[in-house]
Amino acid sequence: MTIVLNQPFVPNAMSPTRRRVFVGQTEKVASPPVRTSSHDAVDALLVACADGDPASFAPVYDALGPVAYGASLGILRDPDHAAEVTQEVMVEVWQTASRFDAARGSARTWVATLARRRAVDRVRSEQAHRDRDQRDTDLRTNESARDVVVEDVERRLEGSAVRRCIEGLTPTQREAVVVAYYGGLTYREVAEQLDKALPTVKSRIRDGLNRLRDCLGVRHG
Amino acid sequence: MADQTTATGPGGVPDDVWDLLPGYAMDALDHVERQAVERLLASDADARRALDEYRDVLAAFVVEAEPPAALRSSVLAQVQGTPQVHDRTAGTPVPESAPGGGSPSAGGSTAATSGPASSVAAPGRASGADVVDLDARRRRRRRWGTAVAAVAAVAAIAVPSTIAVQVTAERDRLQEQAQVVSEMLADPDSAVLRASVEGGGEASVLVSGDDMFFHAEGLPELDPDKAYQLWVVEGDGSVSSAGLLALRGDQATALVQGEHGVGMAVSVEPESGSEEPTTAPIVVLGA
């Protein structure tokens, strides 16, 4: 993996005073984000479908499918793989709806968490395949498939709520956070990729996420 | 708030485990690190809250995108034939419709989001055990007094050695339960806690990470207007309902997943259950 992440992100025009996770959309967003006003309603839909009526899941899919697909696509980039992961995630959402706890976070965050985990699992199993294949083949064009480059990251961040907060990180924090998020890497792998000590990487990611948290106004309890 | 300078917890959790919380939220930890974080989460409501915040931050990276149109019917068809993993107990308190009213110390559904193994709920996984619908319950709670204070003091689940030597038979019996319980038993850090039930019977709980498998036998039959209610005891001494126990003969089992409890307790409540305990516990497991 090559990391090219040394230019600052261009601040976008979103109002810095908006605090909600679901900030405005851009033309790049394929579907409107779940709006703040419907946030509680989506939570309630999810809670309701835990009663076991499959028909009650259709509105849940409509509201949260785009979250699962967007999360998967952001990490996997391949639409077919993202669709497969989305299917797995949404079935899991149905199966485990009773575990959703609105006191701990929104339905959107819950689904994004599940989707991220499955997408990362897939990145890692693909990487394992690739590593095996690589031993038998010469250099191939897709060798750089997992490269995280700044233009690409900018494109993927477009329309996301963190977009306006990312530039508030130091370059080294940004690098570590972005590589860990989009690369689906472990701390150890991030440290290897960036050729930095493990504790350094841990503290950069921690400090980076703490800054993002404060910038986004995320606060529980 | 995730203050990295937070003093070490009662279980001796080193500060650097706090530093792993962002990595836990990002699925960026190895197995050993993940277990260390899960121990911290089990005993520390602040850590759970910090984790929830990190998850919100990561969710803010997500740009929603419309999935392929064909996926909708495919998912909805699969859902039709897929059972849900809970067995909603009659009388289990329902969640508040409006989020945000939860207690700051509310523990909850982290099993659903706490690790790859626990998040994959295959159909039928829960067969043979009652999966208590913990997370849909109302999160009102109060302190239960001295009975659970001792449990709370055991911030990280630990088995006193005098009990540990007696649990082999109990472990063998539990092994026959569902796959999930087998997985819990395979966890080298799992522990079995057991105690006599006031009024008759024995109760035990197998603890593995965020999962707890409760079993009781020899329980006396109750008046028709009463029921046994199971509670999860958390590190701060608060308790939350794990639903009513369904008796089969004089036995009852309950699989509780995703609770960062440090122990369990049972009380006798009205048959419809209570939002919080109204009587003293007849058994407390955890110390």
If pLDDT is split at 50, 70 and 90, which confidence band does A38 have?
low
**How does strand B283-285 pair with strand A148-149?**
unpaired
**A21-30 per-position pLDDT tens digit:** 222 223 333 3
Q: Name the closest residue on chain A to residue B20, using Cα atoms.
A: A202
If pLDDT is split at 50, 70 and 90, which confidence band does B13 have?
low
CB contact under 8 A, A113 and B71: no
If pLDDT is split at 50, 70 and 90, which confidence band does A84 have?
very high
**B209-237 per-position pLDDT tens digit:** 888 888 888 898 888 888 899 998 887 77
Q: Name the closest residue on chain B to residue A206, using Cα atoms.
A: B22
Domain annotation covers residue A197: yes
- Whether the per-residue pLDDT at A142 is higher than 80: the answer is no
| Mean of all residue pLDDT scores within chain B | 70
Same-domain check for residues A163 and A139: no
Instruction: Give the mean pLDDT of A183-197.
Output: 91
Query: At B228, phi and psi to the nearest 5?
Result: -85, 130
Domain that holds residue A169: 1-16+24-29+159-221
**B167-201 per-position pLDDT tens digit:** 444 454 444 455 677 777 777 777 888 888 988 88
Q: How far lies B252's CA from each of B88, B170, B276, in Å?
A: 15, 15, 20
- Whether the per-residue pLDDT at B91 is higher than 80: the answer is no
Same-domain check for residues A184 and A96: no
> Which A-chain residues 171-200 have CB contacts (< 8 A) with chain B?
180-181, 184-188, 190
Structure tokens of A20?
């909600």
CB contact under 8 A, B75 and A91: yes
Express as a percent the part of chain A with pLDDT over 90.
Answer: 46
- Whether the per-residue pLDDT at B127 is higher than 70: the answer is no
CATH assignment of the domain containing A199: 1.10.10.10
Instruction: Give the mean pLDDT of B25-50.
Output: 91
Of A95, A160, A220, the CB nearest to B60: A160
Express as a percent the part of chain B with pLDDT over 70.
Answer: 62
E-assigned strand segments in chain B: 191-196, 202-208, 211-217, 226-234, 239-244, 252-256, 261-270, 283-285
Instruction: Give the mean pLDDT of A76-105.
Output: 93
Rg (CA), chain B: 19
Same-domain check for residues A132 and A58: yes
The total domain count for chain A is 2
Q: Is B221 on the interface with A (CB under 8 A)?
A: no
CATH assignment of the domain containing A99: 1.10.1740.10
Q: How far is A90 from chain B (nearest CA, A)?
A: 7
Domain annotation covers residue A221: yes
- Whether the per-residue pLDDT at A88 is higher than 90: the answer is yes
Domain annotation covers residue A73: yes
Same-domain check for residues A42 and A125: yes
Domain annotation covers residue A122: yes
Same-domain check for residues A138 and A194: no
Task: Write down the ipTM of this complex.
Answer: 0.80
Domain annotation covers residue A154: no
> Which B-chain residues 29-48 have CB contacts (< 8 A) with chain A?
29-30, 33, 48
CB contact under 8 A, A205 and B26: yes
